[in-house]
């Protein structure tokens, strides 16, 4: 059974950005300094620190000794880590996954946007998912839209694909229990979805792996002020589903 190691970083006002910078490589710090947009710079800084310290804790390696690559359009990789890596961020929160089998993760802040979820779902989701969204209240529709999106994007990442590959498959049924109704590839899959709360903000997060079953460990990481990381185990209500062709 595959183990999925997940870590989150909440980059809020209680974290000093300099504590994150201190944990990055010289190349990463130079790149961060060249990012003009403040929001993108924040996402870059938080996500790079998160993955570096997640790997360091998992494999007992000093964070700065890790050689991490971020190839365009695909998942990060690290010569010191024998498994698969995944990374996502939304708003102030980053999410990373380490696994021995192909895996992907995604996190999405749940919030009302300028578009209506039903309209965008009509272009991107399977008709059965659109029909299910039409049967729920407006508030539930927003939450369900983001949960579906996170599940689909996690699965695409696990296959090394981007959003350009289309989101109609895999498709999911959320009620009465999470179920994968269609998969893009004829192989076993495991999916898990949950919501993360931080203050008034809520996030939909999901992980997918090309295995029949998996266990999930979730921790929160944050800098400890001395170039290390505090680790706190988190317990969330995961909804899980297996797909067998």
pLDDT range class, residue 225, cuts 50, 70, 90: confident
What residue spans of the chain are helical by DSSP H?
A: 17-21, 26-34, 38-59, 117-124, 127-134, 138-158
* Residue 115: per-residue pLDDT: 65
* Residue 111: per-residue pLDDT: 87
pLDDT range class, residue 163, cuts 50, 70, 90: confident
Pair 57, 229: CB distance under 8 Å: yes
Angle between helices 117-124 and 127-134 (to 10 degrees): 160
Residue 235 burial (C-beta neighbours within 10 Å; 0-12, 13-18, 19+): exposed
* Residue 164: per-residue pLDDT: 77
Question: Could you report the per-residue pLDDT of 164-220, keeping only the tens digit for each?
Answer: 778 899 999 999 999 999 998 889 999 999 999 988 899 999 999 999 999 999 999
Calculate the average pLDDT of the chain. Answer: 92
Q: What DSSP assignment string belongs to 141-182?
A: HHHHHHHHHHHHHHHHHHTT--GGG-SSSSEEE-SSS-EEEE
Residue 161: how many other CB atoms lie within 10 Å:
16
* Residue 116: per-residue pLDDT: 74
Question: Could you report the per-residue pLDDT of 96-150, keeping only the tens digit for each?
Answer: 999 999 999 999 999 877 667 777 787 889 999 999 999 999 889 999 999 999 9
Query: Edge-to-edge, what's the strand order for the sheet holding 214-223?
Result: 84-90, 93-99, 2-10, 214-223, 229-233
Percentage of residues in the chain with pLDDT exceeding 90? Answer: 78
């Amino acid at each position: 059974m595959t183990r999925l190691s997940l870590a989150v970083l909440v980059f809020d006002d209680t974290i000093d950005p300099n504590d994150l910078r201190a944990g990055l490589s010289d190349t990463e710090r130079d790149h961060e300094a060249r990012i003009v947009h403040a929001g993108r710079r924040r996402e870059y800084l938080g996500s790079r620190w998160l993955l570096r310290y997640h790997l360091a804790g998992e494999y007992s390696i000093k964070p700065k000794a890790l050689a991490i690559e971020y190839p365009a359009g695909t998942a990060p990789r690290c010569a010191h880590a024998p498994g698969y890596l995944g990374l996502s961020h939304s708003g102030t929160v980053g999410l990373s996954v380490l696994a021995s089998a192909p895996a992907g993760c995604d996190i999405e802040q749940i919030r009302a946007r300028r578009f209506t979820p039903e309209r965008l779902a009509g272009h991107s989701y399977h008709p059965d998912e659109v029909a299910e969204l039409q049967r729920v209240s407006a508030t539930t529709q927003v939450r369900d839209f983001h949960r579906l999106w996170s599940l689909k994007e996690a699965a695409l990442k696990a296959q090394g694909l981007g959003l350009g590959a289309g989101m109609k498959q895999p498709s999911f049924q959320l009620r009465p229990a999470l179920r994968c109704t269609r998969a893009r590839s004829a192989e076993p899959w495991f999916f898990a979805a949950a919501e993360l709360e931080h203050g008034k903000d809520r996030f939909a997060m999901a992980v997918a792996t090309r295995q029949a079953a998996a266990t999930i460990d979730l921790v929160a990481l944050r800098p400890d002020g001395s170039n290390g990381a505090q680790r706190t185990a988190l317990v969330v209500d995961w909804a899980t589903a297996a797909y067998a062709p």
